[in-house]
């Protein structure tokens, strides 16, 4: 799962990822290339960007809904997996190629993408705040017990 700094970096990068060609380029080091369902081309068409880390080499994220998936197998169908785990993703529901969108449709989508990003970022920051509160409460309790 991406940390807050990774999420912030991805937000600006993913703004360019309406382009299927740019998404496909992110899969340069992708292990599944031939004779399988999850080739770079199919991953990119399903909206995914390859976001590998040292511990998670096959993590992908949808540029739009930001869902992260890993543990890919050659038989996995990226569009099916995306639909199964994020059925309300507006990229999946777009129903037309990006180049066929009107300017108004593009801005409506971009507004929805920004809302998703802000909601997830706030959620992640709240998790960090809760963790910090828990650590502080444990410290206070241990100090009280030692008095
Ligand atoms: Zn999505």
Confidence of residue 118 (pLDDT cuts 50, 70, 90): very high
Task: Quote the ligand 1 centre to 62 CA distance (angstroms).
Answer: 5
Phi, psi of 48 (to 5 degrees): -90, 150
35-68 tens-digit pLDDT = 899 999 999 999 999 999 888 899 999 999 999 9
Q: What pLDDT, on the 0 to 100 scale, is given for residue 8?
A: 86
5-44 tens-digit pLDDT = 888 888 889 999 999 999 999 999 999 988 899 999 999 9
Domain ranges of the chain: 4-145
Q: What pLDDT, on the 0 to 100 scale, is given for residue 56?
A: 87
Task: Quote the ligand 1 centre to 23 CA distance (angstroms).
Answer: 13
Which pair of tokens denotes residue 44? Answer: 């990119």
Task: Quote the ligand 1 centre to 34 CA distance (angstroms).
Answer: 24
- What is the Cα–Cα distance from 80 to 33, expressed in whole angstroms? 18
Class of domain 4-145: mainly alpha
Q: What pLDDT, on the 0 to 100 scale, is given for residue 12?
A: 86
- What is the Cα–Cα distance from 2 to 61, expressed in whole angstroms? 10
Task: Quote the ligand 1 centre to 84 CA distance (angstroms).
Answer: 10
Residues 6+ apart with CB under 8 A from 106: 18
Task: Quote the ligand 1 centre to 68 CA distance (angstroms).
Answer: 9
Q: What pLDDT, on the 0 to 100 scale, is given for residue 21?
A: 95
Phi, psi of 89 (to 5 degrees): -60, 120
- What is the Cα–Cα distance from 72 to 10, expressed in whole angstroms? 21
């Amino acid at each position: 799962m991406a940390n807050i700094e990774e999420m912030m970096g991805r937000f600006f990068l993913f703004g360019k990822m309406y382009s299927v060609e740019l998404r496909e380029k992110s899969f340069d080091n992708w292990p599944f290339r031939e004779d399988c369902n999850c080739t770079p081309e199919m991953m990119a068409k399903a909206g995914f960007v390859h976001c590998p880390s040292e511990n998670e080499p096959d993590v992908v994220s949808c540029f739009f809904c930001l869902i992260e998936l890993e543990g890919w197998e050659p038989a996995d169908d990226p569009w099916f997996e995306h639909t199964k785990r994020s059925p309300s993703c507006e990229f999946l529901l777009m129903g037309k190629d990006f180049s066929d969108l009107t300017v108004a449709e593009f801005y409506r989508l971009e507004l929805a993408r920004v809302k998703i990003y802000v909601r997830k970022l706030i959620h992640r920051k709240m998790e960090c705040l809760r963790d910090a509160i828990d650590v502080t409460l444990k410290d206070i309790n241990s100090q009280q017990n030692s008095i």
